[in-house]
Amino acid sequence: MNIQDKKVIIIGAGASGMSLAYFLYKNGVSNICVFERELLGSGSTGKCAGIVSTQLWNEIDVKLARRSMEIFEEISRKASYFKVYRKGLISITGEEKGKRYIKKISDILKGEKIKYKMYEGEEAEKIFPFLKGIRDRVILQTPDDLYCDSGMFLYTIYSYIRKEKIDIKLLREVERFKTLNREVKGLWVKGIYYPADIFIMCSGVWSIKILEEMGIKIPLLPYRSQIAVLRKKDTIDIPIIHDLDRGVYIRSEFPDKIIMGDGTETKESSLIFKENPDEEFIYGVIPEITNIVNDFENAEYLGGWAGLCAATPDRYPLIGKIPEFENLYILTGFNGFGFMRIPAIAENFAFYLTESRMEIDISSYFLERFKGKEIEKFEIREGFSFID
Ligand SMILES: Cc1cc2nc3c(=O)[nH]c(=O)nc-3n(C[C@H](O)[C@H](O)[C@H](O)COP(=O)(O)OP(=O)(O)OC[C@H]3O[C@@H](n4cnc5c(N)ncnc54)[C@H](O)[C@@H]3O)c2cc1C
């Protein structure tokens, strides 16, 4: 029996679960059920800034981000309320390690034939008049980078696949699996037993908990990441800005707001975490914006939030079969920059499951790379902007 004739259960309705359901369906699998313990996007995806960039530090990720951009465009054509904003991204740095990083990724962009440009000095001041203090700094611009609303992305897929009779059960937490020898037979949700042939965990960083209950450990650690929303009196039209030296990113939220984030917090968090931003973030990090862009002195702080990201030891995702079982898979470990790669990862994972092929080879992200290695604790490091 091939997978097209099998019943597939996906656990989690974040970017990975919904994208995978979409691509499995497109590849001929129609008996799919998605269980989500809360609502669409209640995990990391709903907390995400929605930035999609090709300024990444390895070729596979660059290919994945580029393909994901095409997928975001494809999904946006299904619903007028899901919009893709191709504003481009600029990374700014004045420090030597930042310049080394920019050099490294510009070489990768060149190899992958991605449009980019570097600016310095007076030219940078002329092209980006809204930026402050950039004369001694280097700017790398990728003009095709984009942002979009992660919640609307999920909702658009949800509406589409539900029409195609894919079963999505919200407010249904998977409590435990029933296993026999090396096979998962089914799972329990609110006391009801659901059997299936294939089980795929798209449960983000909470996968740690589900697997721990089965006595399985995977190298995954949760860390917090924070976001603030600021409003100005006039319209804001700027590209996505990534200040590598200050470790913050900024993007506009049309028409008069911006979203500002602090990226990776390099300390482990608990799965039960503080969902509001810290005082240090509000009073220390957010005012930094006045040193990055002009005219933000009177911007109003509207509020913010914190979400969890999933770190792995080598900052590559954790994909593929859980070795203890023949029919249990996982798709997680996106190190704070999953949204920008997940659609293409899900597409290729669906190709792998249905046709044993991949268009972008993600096999180096398979979980089996940790086979025989007991890694429980490791250092959490920057994921998106990986500076040596
Ligand atoms: C503040 C912040 C900003 C970010 N900004 C960006 C960005 O700009 N660009 C980018 O590329 N990435 C960004 N990220 C990272 C990105 O959000 C994640 O990599 C991505 O959303 C992970 O998606 P996921 O589907 O793997 O996990 P999740 O979105 O966490 O989905 C997992 C789902 O599983 C559900 N679940 C868990 N346990 C169970 C269970 N037992 N039963 C049923 N359901 C269960 C959860 O409720 C959740 O909905 C950001 C993250 C944060 C926190």
Is 51 near ligand 1, meaning CB less than 6 Å away? Answer: yes
Whether 376 is covered by a domain: the verdict is no
Instruction: Tell me: pLDDT of 264 over 80.
Output: no
Query: Tell me: the pLDDT tens digits for 234-249?
Result: 888 899 999 999 999 9
pLDDT number for residue 142: 98
Q: What is the DSSP letter of 259?
A: E
Beta pairing partners, 261: 227, 249
The mean per-residue pLDDT over the stretch 20-40 comes to 97
Considering only CA atoms, which of 226, 224, 234, 340 is closest in space to residue 293? 234
**Cα-based angle 277, 279, 282 (whole degrees, multiple of 5):** 70
Residue with tokens 């280097």: 138
User: Looking at the structure, do residues 231 and 127 belong to the same domain, yes or no?
Assistant: yes
User: Looking at the structure, do residues 225 and 211 belong to the same domain, yes or no?
Assistant: no
Cα of 44 vs centre of ligand 1, distance in Å, is 3
Instruction: Tell me: pLDDT of 387 over 90.
Output: no
Tally of CB atoms within 10 A around 237: 10
Whether 207 is covered by a domain: the verdict is yes
User: Looking at the structure, do residues 263 and 340 belong to the same domain, yes or no?
Assistant: no
For CA atoms 296, 297, 303, 309, the dihedral sign is positive
Instruction: State percent of the chain over pLDDT 90.
Output: 88
Q: What's the mean pLDDT when you consider all of the chain? A: 95
The mean per-residue pLDDT over the stretch 8-27 comes to 98
Whether 358 is covered by a domain: the verdict is yes
User: Looking at the structure, do residues 319 and 174 belong to the same domain, yes or no?
Assistant: yes
The pTM of the full predicted model, rounded to 2 decimals, is 0.97
The mean per-residue pLDDT over the stretch 132-142 comes to 95
| pLDDT tier at 298, thresholds 50, 70, 90 | confident
The mean per-residue pLDDT over the stretch 337-342 comes to 98
Whether 188 is covered by a domain: the verdict is yes
Choice from 35, 48, 71, 211 to test ligand 1 binding pocket (greatest atom count within 8 A of CB): 48
Is 19 near ligand 1, meaning CB less than 6 Å away? Answer: no
Report how far residue 247's alpha carbon sits from residue 23's, in angstroms, rounded to the nearest whole number: 34
Whether 68 is covered by a domain: the verdict is no
Cα of 355 vs centre of ligand 1, distance in Å, is 27
User: Looking at the structure, do residues 174 and 208 belong to the same domain, yes or no?
Assistant: yes
Give the domain-ending residue among 311, 333, 355.
Answer: 311
**7: three-class secondary structure by DSSP:** coil
Cα of 275 vs centre of ligand 1, distance in Å, is 14
From the centroid of its chain, how far is CA 210?
A: 20
Give the domain-ending residue among 279, 311, 343.
Answer: 311
The mean per-residue pLDDT over the stretch 277-296 comes to 91
The mean per-residue pLDDT over the stretch 94-102 comes to 95
**What is the atom index within ligand 1 of the atom nearest the CA of 332?**
26
Nearest CA to ligand 1 atom 48: 43
Measure Cα distances from 170 to 33, 38, 41, 173, 192 in Å.
Answer: 11, 6, 11, 8, 14
The mean per-residue pLDDT over the stretch 26-53 comes to 97
Query: Tell me: the pLDDT tens digits for 57-96?
Result: 999 999 999 999 999 999 999 999 999 999 999 999 999 9
Is 249 near ligand 1, meaning CB less than 6 Å away? Answer: no
User: Looking at the structure, do residues 301 and 322 belong to the same domain, yes or no?
Assistant: no
Choice from 84, 168, 206 to test ligand 1 binding pocket (greatest atom count within 8 A of CB): 206
Beta pairing partners, 85: 147
pLDDT number for residue 215: 92
Is 336 near ligand 1, meaning CB less than 6 Å away? Answer: yes
pLDDT number for residue 1: 67
Burial status of residue 243 (CB atoms within 10 A of its CB: 0-12, 13-18, 19 or more)? buried
Q: What is the DSSP letter of 284?
A: I
Q: Which two tokens mark 211?
A: 């697997």
**286: three-class secondary structure by DSSP:** helix
User: Looking at the structure, do residues 240 and 257 belong to the same domain, yes or no?
Assistant: yes
User: Looking at the structure, do residues 137 and 38 belong to the same domain, yes or no?
Assistant: no
User: Looking at the structure, do residues 199 and 164 belong to the same domain, yes or no?
Assistant: yes
Cα of 69 vs centre of ligand 1, distance in Å, is 18
Is 63 near ligand 1, meaning CB less than 6 Å away? Answer: no
Tally of CB atoms within 10 A around 268: 14
Report how far residue 75's alpha carbon sits from residue 98's, in angstroms, rounded to the nearest whole number: 34
Nearest CA to ligand 1 atom 41: 174
The mean per-residue pLDDT over the stretch 328-356 comes to 97
Query: Tell me: the pLDDT tens digits for 162-198?
Result: 999 999 999 999 999 999 999 999 999 999 999 999 9
Choice from 16, 68, 339 to test ligand 1 binding pocket (greatest atom count within 8 A of CB): 339
**What is the atom index within ligand 1 of the atom nearest the CA of 341?**
11
From the centroid of its chain, how far is CA 79?
A: 21
Whether 43 is covered by a domain: the verdict is yes
pLDDT number for residue 50: 98
Domain holding 190: CATH number?
Answer: 3.50.50.60
Beta pairing partners, 200: 10, 329
Considering only CA atoms, which of 340, 361, 339 is closest in space to residue 351? 361
Report how far residue 284's alpha carbon sits from residue 294's, in angstroms, rounded to the nearest whole number: 18
User: Looking at the structure, do residues 227 and 206 belong to the same domain, yes or no?
Assistant: no
**What is the atom index within ligand 1 of the atom nearest the CA of 210?**
41
pLDDT number for residue 327: 97
Cα of 318 vs centre of ligand 1, distance in Å, is 14
Cα of 68 vs centre of ligand 1, distance in Å, is 16
Report how far residue 336's alpha carbon sits from residue 288's, in angstroms, rounded to the nearest whole number: 21
Is 202 near ligand 1, meaning CB less than 6 Å away? Answer: yes
Domain holding 105, by residue range, is 87-145+221-311
User: Looking at the structure, do residues 30 and 136 belong to the same domain, yes or no?
Assistant: no
Query: Tell me: the pLDDT tens digits for 191-223?
Result: 999 999 999 999 999 999 999 999 999 999 999
User: Looking at the structure, do residues 248 and 305 belong to the same domain, yes or no?
Assistant: yes
pLDDT number for residue 334: 97
Q: Could you tell me where the DSSP H helices lie in the chain?
A: 15-26, 59-76, 96-111, 121-127, 150-163, 207-212, 279-280, 289-292, 342-355
Whether 121 is covered by a domain: the verdict is yes
Query: Tell me: the pLDDT tens digits for 351-385?
Result: 999 999 999 999 999 999 998 887 778 999 888 88
The torsion of the CA quartet 310, 313, 315, 320, rounded to 10 degrees, works out to -70
Is 333 near ligand 1, meaning CB less than 6 Å away? Answer: no
Is 262 near ligand 1, meaning CB less than 6 Å away? Answer: no
Domain holding 96: CATH number?
Answer: 3.30.9.10
pLDDT number for residue 199: 98
Q: Which two tokens mark 210?
A: 């589900």
Cα of 132 vs centre of ligand 1, distance in Å, is 33
pLDDT number for residue 388: 67
Cα of 133 vs centre of ligand 1, distance in Å, is 35
Whether 3 is covered by a domain: the verdict is no
Give the domain-ending residue among 293, 311, 329.
Answer: 311
Cα of 42 vs centre of ligand 1, distance in Å, is 8
Domain count, the chain: 2
For CA atoms 99, 100, 103, 108, the dihedral sign is negative
Beta pairing partners, 226: 306
